[in-house]
Amino acid sequence: MQKKVVLGAALVAVLAALACFAYLSTFTRMHADDYCIAADVTHLDPAAYFLKWYTHWTGRFSYIIFTGLLTALGAGFAAWLPTLTLGVWLVGLSWALAPLARWVKWDHPRLCAWIAAGLILLVLYAATPNLFQSAFWEIGLINYSFPLVGFTWAGGVLVRLGLGQIQPKPAAAWVGGLSLLSGGFTEAFSSVQVAFYVLLLVGAAVWGRGRARRALLSAAWAGLLGGGLALGIILASPGNAVRRGALPEPPGLIRLVTFSIRNAAYIMGKYFLWTPGWAALSVGVPLAAGWAFGAGHAQGARGGRLSWRLPWVQAAGVMLTAAFGLMVAACAPVVYSLNAYPDDRVIFLPLFFWIAALTASSAWVGNSLRQMRFLSRWSVHPHSAQAAAGLALAGLMLAAGVTAWRTAQAAPEYRQYAQDWDRRDAELRALSQSGVEEITVVGLPSRFGVADLQESPDHWVNRCMAEYYRIPRLRGR
């Protein structure tokens, strides 16, 4: 089987699986906090809206701005935002990986980059504990998916900068601006971003050489400045005092560090124990692909034993260790504010870095094992690459089939909820013109931990919906 044909089939399988998630996301509507934001956007001017949320609730300035802009577009746009976000993310991630695939001399590097990007997102969407809150629901999507999208595009600039493909000054400006913007969505990502650029500074200083070293150092400082400024703006918000009043006292430094490490280890363990199939996919497919499509057929070290001293073993270890450090950084703000394990929607952030590092290191290991002739005669056998390519393709096709089956099982409930929501929305818009002081309508079920209309008109969701629809009092039944 020709390699390009296998890669084309693999790309189709990955895109088909991602299309299943995109299809389900089109049944997303407005929920809970969406009404609060939309009501204020409707009734307040932009400056008053921003000041209200920044001074009375949260310092997440990018979150406030983007939720205001996007929520104002209504429920129709909320149904398409997840698909648009996934598309921009997929393009950005493949764009970031393409220079690396060319640098390591993989066969058909552009195709490989698209497949790797799709695989990372497929596994992330399939393995995350609460996909709806992290990637479908508009408020959660903006909080937890948007910063990762921005980080991915900044990563593509960093890769090209390290390979000497772009000029340092505009690259540093791009990285600094994206870091500032991305850091304003949620504290968990702000912390991760600062940790990442600190690690990049250390890595560039230790392993960098020549122009690439200087260029990466300048971009890392710009990213650290942008990320640190974003975190500072969040922490300076007067709204933090309002939220702080409802939260427990922050833990001490030792508790902060140890509990964050424990939480990161728990997230990593749950990934392997609770979603073993997807964990195996994130290791097995890139491992086989590295063997089949990497530069392992080129001349390299023959024979030898596996050892930590081998550069590629050290590189894989560094990638996984750095990813675990970023997971700890993502858990730290939650431990500080709540002294607890992160909510399921927050886990989306650390899980992305772990899956990306696991995928990249597995591909690197597969390529390096073949290059060092790990399996002796089998590594140079003409059919070994074909067998590895076939295994990788089979894994992706199986994953696409499982995703399609799960989508078919879930679609009726998603579709019915969207239809019920649309009917209630039309009813409430009609009743808002009636002049009745109190209106009672059917409450829809709370989904994926997101609350809906309650019996009491004083419940916060009821109040936000009443303000959004301009109804004095709204009650659910």
For position 210, what pLDDT does the model report?
82
368 occurs within a structural domain: yes
Assess whether 301 and 444 both reside in one domain.
Answer: no
Mean pLDDT, residues 211-220: 89
Mean pLDDT, residues 95-112: 90
Assess whether 313 and 442 both reside in one domain.
Answer: no
Mean pLDDT, residues 309-323: 84
Mean pLDDT, residues 346-369: 92
Q: Is the pLDDT of residue 296 over 60?
A: no
- Give the span between the Cα atoms of 191 and 295, in whole angstroms: 36
Which residues face 440 on adjacent strands?
475
> pLDDT band at 251, cuts 50/70/90?
confident
Assess whether 377 and 436 both reside in one domain.
Answer: no
pLDDT tens digits for range 149-208:
999 999 999 999 988 888 888 999 999 999 999 999 999 999 999 999 999 999 888 887
Q: Is the pLDDT of residue 366 over 90?
A: no
Assess whether 287 and 332 both reside in one domain.
Answer: yes
For position 250, what pLDDT does the model report?
81
Q: Is the pLDDT of residue 257 over 50?
A: yes
> pLDDT band at 381, cuts 50/70/90?
low
Assess whether 56 and 164 both reside in one domain.
Answer: yes
161 occurs within a structural domain: yes
Assess whether 287 and 436 both reside in one domain.
Answer: no
423 occurs within a structural domain: no
Mapped to the 3 state alphabet, what secondary structure does the chain carry? CCHHHHHHHHHHHHHHHHHHHHHHHCCCCCCCHHHHHHHHHHHCCHHHHHHHHHHHCCCCHHHHHHHHHHHCCCHHHHCCHHHHHHHHHHHHHHHHHHHHHHHCCCCCHHHHHHHHHHHHHHHHHHHCCCHHHHHHCHHHHHHHHHHHHHHHHHHHHHHHHHCCCCCHHHHHHHHHHHHHHHCCCCHHHHHHHHHHHHHHHHHHHHHCCHHHHHHHHHHHHHHHHHHHHHHHHHHCCCHHHHHHCCCCCCCCHHHHHHHHHHHHHHHHHHHHHHCHHHHHHHHHHHHHHHHHHCHHHCCCCCCCCCCCCCHHHHHHHHHHHHHHHHHHHHHHHHHHHHCCCCCCCCCHHHHHHHHHHHHHHHHHHHHHHHHCCCCCHHHHCCCHHHHHHHHHHHHHHHHHHHHHHHHHHHHHHHHHHHHHHHHHHHHHHHHCCCCCCEEEECCCCCECCECCCCCCCCCHHHHHHHHHHCCCEEEEC
CB 209 within 8 A of CB 178: no
Mean pLDDT, residues 434-449: 84
Distances from the Cα of 345 to the Cαs of 35, 137, 261, 341, 351, in angstroms? 20, 10, 19, 11, 10
For position 249, what pLDDT does the model report?
79
230 occurs within a structural domain: yes
Which residues face 474 on adjacent strands?
439
What's the one-letter identity of residue 13? A
> In terms of residue numbers, what domain contains 466?
432-476
Q: What percent of the chain has pLDDT over 90?
A: 61
424 occurs within a structural domain: no
81-90, 326-335, 366-375, 432-441: least confidently modelled range: 366-375
427 occurs within a structural domain: no
For position 111, what pLDDT does the model report?
92
Q: Which of 79-93, 105-119, 282-296 has the highest mean predicted lDDT (pLDDT)?
A: 79-93
Domain count, the chain: 2
Answer with the residue of higher pLDDT: 465 or 373.
465
Assess whether 413 and 439 both reside in one domain.
Answer: no
pLDDT tens digits for range 19-59:
999 999 999 999 888 999 999 998 899 999 999 999 988 88
Assess whether 203 and 278 both reside in one domain.
Answer: yes
Assess whether 370 and 472 both reside in one domain.
Answer: no
In the block, residue with structure tokens 């149904």: 79
326 occurs within a structural domain: yes
Residue that finishes a domain, picked among 418, 446, 467? 418
> pLDDT band at 219, cuts 50/70/90?
very high
Assess whether 454 and 350 both reside in one domain.
Answer: no
In the block, residue with structure tokens 């994953």: 399
Taking alpha carbons only, the member of 77, 68, 60, 9 closest to residue 43 is 68
Distances from the Cα of 406 to the Cαs of 4, 11, 20, 166, 401, in angstroms? 29, 20, 9, 43, 9
Assess whether 184 and 288 both reside in one domain.
Answer: yes
Residue that finishes a domain, picked among 391, 418, 445? 418
Mean pLDDT, residues 64-86: 91
Mean pLDDT, residues 404-432: 93
Q: Is the pLDDT of residue 300 over 90?
A: no
Task: Indicate the average pLDDT of the chain.
Answer: 89
370 occurs within a structural domain: yes
For position 212, what pLDDT does the model report?
83
Taking alpha carbons only, the member of 155, 173, 145 closest to residue 62 is 145
Assess whether 168 and 255 both reside in one domain.
Answer: yes
What is the pTM (predicted TM-score) of this model? 0.93
